[in-house]
């Protein structure tokens, strides 16, 4: 079994981005600029946003954090988004999810200008991705693709089973794996909450990508010998032995599944850091497109 080390791989990508940014700055041009909108104070979101801002600093991007109260009304948030769309000093921005219940996710996503949508969530970018046209790819699935690519995992003709159909991970992940690209060219099965006998499908997976948010629910008996297992789950589970009071758990029972597979991502240190690297790559590409 070999680890798919997202931490190390993402650091290599960040180093490569930094080299490009240094060249840009040496030419006397402005730095790429990412803005992050955080509504409310969900602790996990605060951590993710903090990591994104820190990564910007590391590669030499300019970053702007816009913190808004969770009492903000939808119209005011949409107006903030309009300002960011119109800001010519900005290459891209994201609105961290989850959003408070009184705000419509789809209204927010639709309000983001597709050319600044470095999260790749706008219907125009999702459609372009599905059709293999140039698009911002959503950060988490794109991170998984880059990880498979860096480890030279053969995907063509393989059976990829994606567990989960969320708009952020499962659905775009399945599209990226089925496209006529490298990595890609898989036969793809999507399992979700209404799938009957999930194990029947997961046992057929050469590549199993798990994004259900169900803590440690994928067990060794569900995985084929020699499979490649990618665990997108990252849930805070209360743990009194930790200083923080919690540990981070994936969707896969790592210790038992690792014995069976050829490659597996750890949690933390697997897909999570790759997500951030992808977001920065999208931002750099947005900058270059201008
Ligand atoms: N919440 C969980 N993942 C993501 C992501 O990739 N982007 C945003 N904006 N919010 C998220």
The finding on whether 97 has its CB within 6 A of some atom of ligand 1 is yes
pLDDT at site 275: 98
Query: Quick one: 44 exposed, middle or buried, by C-beta within 10 A (0-12, 13-18, 19+)?
Result: middle
The finding on whether 91 has its CB within 6 A of some atom of ligand 1 is no
Residues 6+ apart with CB under 8 A from 70: 39, 40, 41, 100
Residue closest to 144 by CA, chosen among 264, 35, 2: 264
Q: What is the CA radius of gyration of the chain?
A: 19
DSSP β-bridge partners for residue 65: 36
Confidence grade of residue 290 (pLDDT, cut at 50, 70, 90): confident
Chain segment 4-32, per-residue pLDDT in tens? 999 999 999 999 999 999 999 999 999 99
Q: Kindly state the tokens that stand for 214.
A: 């169900």
Residue closest to 281 by CA, chosen among 90, 118, 172, 167: 118
Task: List, in order of start, the domains of the chain with CATH numbers.
Answer: 29-113 (3.40.50.10860), 139-272 (3.40.50.720)
Chain segment 240-284, per-residue pLDDT in tens? 999 999 999 999 999 999 999 999 999 999 999 999 999 999 999
The finding on whether 234 has its CB within 6 A of some atom of ligand 1 is no
The CB density around residue 222, as the number of other CB atoms within 10 Å, is 24
Question: In this structure, are residues 283 and 34 in contact, taking their beta carbons and an 8 Å threshold?
Answer: yes
Q: Kindly state the tokens that stand for 100.
A: 């408070």
Question: In this structure, are residues 174 and 201 in contact, taking their beta carbons and an 8 Å threshold?
Answer: no
Q: Please pick, among 5, 52, 116, 117, the residue that the annotation labels catalytic.
A: 52
Is-catalytic flag, 52?
yes
**Which residue has its alpha carbon closest to ligand 1 atom 9?**
96
pLDDT at site 246: 97
Chain segment 43-82, per-residue pLDDT in tens? 999 999 999 999 999 999 999 999 999 999 999 999 999 9
Q: How far is the CA of 286 from the centre of ligand 1 (A)?
A: 18
pLDDT at site 84: 98
- The four Cα atoms 230, 234, 240, 245 give a dihedral, to 10 degrees, of 140
**For residue 184, pLDDT beyond 90:** yes
Q: Please pick, among 96, 117, 231, 251, the residue that the annotation labels catalytic.
A: 96
Q: What is the mean pLDDT of residues 173-201?
A: 98
């Amino acid at each position: 079994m070999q680890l798919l080390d997202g931490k190390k791989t993402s650091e290599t990508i960040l180093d490569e981005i930094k080299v490009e940014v240094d060249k840009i700055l040496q030419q006397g041009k402005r730095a790429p600029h990412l803005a992050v909108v955080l509504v409310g104070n969900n602790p996990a979101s605060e951590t993710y946003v903090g990591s994104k801002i820190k990564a910007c600093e590391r590669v030499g991007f300019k970053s702007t954090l816009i913190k808004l109260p969770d009492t903000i009304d939808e119209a005011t948030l949409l107006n903030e988004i309009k300002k960011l769309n119109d800001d010519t000093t900005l290459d891209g921005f994201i609105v961290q999810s989850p959003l408070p219940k009184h705000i419509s996710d789809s209204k927010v996503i639709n309000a983001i200008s597709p050319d600044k949508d470095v999260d790749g969530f706008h219907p125009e970018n999702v459609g372009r991705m599905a059709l293999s046209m140039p698009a911002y790819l959503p950060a988490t699935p794109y991170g998984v693709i880059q990880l498979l690519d860096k480890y030279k995992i053969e995907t063509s003709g393989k059976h990829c089973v994606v567990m989960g159909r969320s708009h952020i991970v499962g659905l775009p992940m399945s599209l990226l794996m089925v496209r006529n690209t490298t990595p890609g060219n898989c036969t793809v099965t999507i399992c979700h909450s209404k799938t009957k006998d999930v194990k029947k499908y997961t046992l057929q997976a050469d590549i199993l990508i798990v994004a259900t948010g169900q803590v440690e629910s994928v067990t060794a008996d569900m995985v084929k010998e020699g499979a490649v297992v990618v665990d997108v789950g990252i849930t805070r589970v209360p743990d009194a032995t930790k200083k923080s009071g919690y540990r981070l758990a994936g969707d896969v029972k790592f210790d038992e599944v690792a014995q069976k597979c050829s490659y597996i991502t750890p949690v933390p240190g697997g897909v999570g850091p790759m997500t951030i690297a992808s977001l920065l790559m999208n931002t750099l590409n947005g900058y270059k497109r201008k």
